[in-house]
Chain A
């Protein structure tokens, strides 16, 4: 047992403590510091995981999926290490281990549940001996940070080769169809049978429309959600893999009800993409041999967390804080506006820090035209953040009246403008690095206005899952 490791753990724990006092979330810095003192700290601490190290990756839904797996562990009385959403690079994952372990760094756990970005998977695999990799889906979102999607997927395929990983894959995502043959690893597939929500024509997303084996355009029998669906390649033998975990009898009223193999499930979550998240989480639970009753209870009890789609009451006005980070998520958030028949105001803070994606051109791939539809009934749109001009331009070219666009790059002033508007709800949309500030501003405004501390969070309909 190395003294240096103990020092690294203690310093890391102190750093977590102090950054919390300083009001920071303190998710990356403690890990970074400890890794300087003891570079192999992650490998060392991961060595105390008894039953399995599980990595959750993919473009959308990995936070929700891993939170659901965590709930299954909790219900099962298993112990586990789990990194926080947003702290999913090596430093953040190291912090999670430091936080969970004892001062001597010797505490053991049943599982580690590690959520990480696609491009980070190879790095993570170099440091921990993972036993299972779950992929949610591949959508375009991190293109600007790592080059093209194809490249990122190849990185993962190459990184897992020769490992002892089991892969849990989405059979409905054509971009995952060559993982089994390419890696030679044991693969388990989850996916949906026919549902009453399927579309038989077109889909808005173009990812994965081409066969990964031969490049031919794929033929779809049905689309479940975006590019996820039943497909085959007219040019080669490529088609959906046979399912080990099949979702069927899906009903959304709007809560989710469906059956996986023969296990009935219910959730207060909404939206097809969340049904996929449940399906992925349950597949993991079943693969780990966890009891059906336990899984069923965990999914039933699982409640969405704060910060994803959070409701505030400010001066008598309901305000909804929504994180958006890619075209699919933005489309979902905007279509949610159409469900609210009252007049409303919209605030959109667009930042372009690394965690948001430096390239903001994705706003042009989303159907922002929704805001200009008369039934959306948006009285005013306030454009904010570091790239307030870009989002204002996008909204202008979506056909929304420029008379009703206001640019206020400062978050606090912008949110105040949205709330000062008459009419129903103020929708506060923002990208990742603006989320924390917007939330603090709204909490403060809520408190000052004497509004009840009604932070009833609702993840429903939230874009894309993250």
Chain B
């Protein structure tokens, strides 16, 4: 029987902006390419997360109102979730979901939305959205890797704890706050980021980072190599667009 990975798609009806579900399509197809099966389990408000049988968590962005509903629901699950992340559960949190991991989100009008407080970071909304193609540099297994995407956020996120590692360094674009060249957060097997696009299809090495982490936790091997010709072409095409003078 083929081994099956289960990815929990948190609040698909509330938190799914800008094609984020493409990340799940990507993970699923790649996992199948590696010879395993993959189930996307959709979890809504009030559904319990069956952690022992979940290999990864995915959560996208939503509007402020929807984020409020999600926050209240997640509060009831906080303890377990944090523990699992400490234990190395792979998780990808995009945009609004990433902001929720911090201490708080302060909206432009001054309204304070509490965060889950997993990490010592906070977000402040300011007038003027940070929108556009973005290129960052990240490091996977000691190898520098370029990551491309599209960002669209009004919130500026600041990592307070200097020990917190960003997902990458901004080469072109805004990133966490448009000031300190940091983008996102990387903690164990969790990545929080502002990159839509969606993120994973054009950045197969990030997709494989999650898949390898899932496999490693289950003691399963990843042996074959997938044909990423189209992925690499699309990646390079965006890169050329962002850095037209550099080849």
Check A389–B196 contact: CB distance below 8 A: no
Known A-B contacts A143-B18, A361-B22, A361-B198; A396 and B230 likewise in contact (beta carbons under 8 Å):
yes
CA distance A157 to B227 in the complex (A): 50
Q: Which residue of B lies closest to A396 (CB)?
A: B230
Partner of A390, one of B65, B69, B202: B202
B64-79 vs A, Cβ < 8 Å mask (1 yes, 0 no): 0110010000000000
Q: Which residue of B lies closest to A210 (CB)?
A: B65
Residue of A143, A209, A388, A393 ringed by the most chain B CB atoms within 10 A: A393
Nearest chain B CB to A59 CB, angstrom units: 16
A67-84 vs B, Cβ < 8 Å mask (1 yes, 0 no): 000000000000000000
Partner of B201, one of A209, A397, A402: A397
Q: Which residue of A lies closest to B13 (CB)?
A: A206
B16 within 8 A of partner (CB) = yes
A108-153 residues at the B interface, CB under 8 angstroms: 143-144, 147-148, 150
Check B227–A402 contact: CB distance below 8 A: yes
B164-182 residues at the A interface, CB under 8 angstroms: none
Partner of A389, one of B18, B66, B234: B234
Nearest chain B CB to A414 CB, angstrom units: 14
Known A-B contacts A389-B238, A397-B22; A359 and B196 likewise in contact (beta carbons under 8 Å):
yes
CA distance A402 to B33 in the complex (A): 13
A363 within 8 A of partner (CB) = yes
Check B198–A358 contact: CB distance below 8 A: no
A204-234 residues at the B interface, CB under 8 angstroms: 206, 209-210, 215
A333-385 residues at the B interface, CB under 8 angstroms: 358-365
Q: Which residue of A lies closest to B25 (CB)?
A: A397
**Which residues of A sit under 8 angstroms from B234, Cβ to Cβ?**
387, 389-390, 392-393
**Which residues of A sit under 8 angstroms from B66, Cβ to Cβ?**
210
A441 within 8 A of partner (CB) = no
B197 within 8 A of partner (CB) = yes
B218 within 8 A of partner (CB) = no
**Which residues of B sit under 8 angstroms from A402, Cβ to Cβ?**
227, 229-230
CA distance A162 to B110 in the complex (A): 27
A239 within 8 A of partner (CB) = no
Known A-B contacts A358-B131, A387-B237; A144 and B22 likewise in contact (beta carbons under 8 Å):
no
Residue of A209, A210, A399 ringed by the most chain B CB atoms within 10 A: A210
Known A-B contacts A364-B198, A389-B235, A389-B238; A359 and B29 likewise in contact (beta carbons under 8 Å):
no
B31-71 vs A, Cβ < 8 Å mask (1 yes, 0 no): 00000000000000000000000000000000101100100
Check A144–B19 contact: CB distance below 8 A: no
B141-193 residues at the A interface, CB under 8 angstroms: 150, 152, 154
A386 within 8 A of partner (CB) = yes
**Which residues of B sit under 8 angstroms from A388, Cβ to Cβ?**
237
**Which residues of B sit under 8 angstroms from A394, Cβ to Cβ?**
22, 201
CA distance A394 to B200 in the complex (A): 12
B114-152 vs A, Cβ < 8 Å mask (1 yes, 0 no): 000000000000000101110000000000000000101
**Which residues of A sit under 8 angstroms from B26, Cβ to Cβ?**
397
Check B230–A363 contact: CB distance below 8 A: no
- Tell me the number of A-to-B contacts counted with CB atoms below 8 Å: 93
**Number of B residues, CB within 8 Å of A:** 38
Known A-B contacts A359-B196, A361-B198, A362-B19; A389 and B63 likewise in contact (beta carbons under 8 Å):
no
Nearest chain B CB to A49 CB, angstrom units: 35
Nearest chain B CB to A154 CB, angstrom units: 12
Nearest chain B CB to A394 CB, angstrom units: 7
CA distance A144 to B231 in the complex (A): 23
A100 within 8 A of partner (CB) = no
CA distance A407 to B198 in the complex (A): 20
**Which residues of B sit under 8 angstroms from A416, Cβ to Cβ?**
none
Check B19–A405 contact: CB distance below 8 A: no
Q: Which residue of B lies closest to A391 (CB)?
A: B234
**Which residues of A sit under 8 angstroms from B132, Cβ to Cβ?**
358
Nearest chain A CB to B237 CB, angstrom units: 4
Nearest chain A CB to B187 CB, angstrom units: 25
**Which residues of B sit under 8 angstroms from A361, Cβ to Cβ?**
18-20, 22, 150, 196-198
Nearest chain B CB to A11 CB, angstrom units: 34
Check A389–B237 contact: CB distance below 8 A: yes
Nearest chain B CB to A152 CB, angstrom units: 12
Partner of A364, one of B13, B19, B233, B238: B19
Nearest chain A CB to B233 CB, angstrom units: 5
Check B19–A393 contact: CB distance below 8 A: no
CA distance A397 to B201 in the complex (A): 8
Check B237–A144 contact: CB distance below 8 A: no
15 contacts between A and B (CB under 8 A): A147-B129, A209-B13, A215-B69, A358-B133, A361-B19, A361-B197, A364-B21, A364-B201, A390-B202, A390-B238, A393-B234, A394-B201, A397-B25, A397-B29, A407-B233
Q: Ordered nearest first, which 4 A-B pairs have the shortest CB separation? A: A389-B234, A364-B19, A361-B19, A364-B22
Besides A143-B17, A148-B63, A390-B202, 19 more A-B contacts (Cβ < 8 Å) are A143-B18, A147-B154, A215-B65, A358-B132, A361-B19, A361-B20, A362-B19, A387-B238, A389-B202, A389-B234, A389-B235, A389-B237, A390-B238, A393-B230, A393-B231, A393-B234, A394-B22, A397-B26, A397-B29
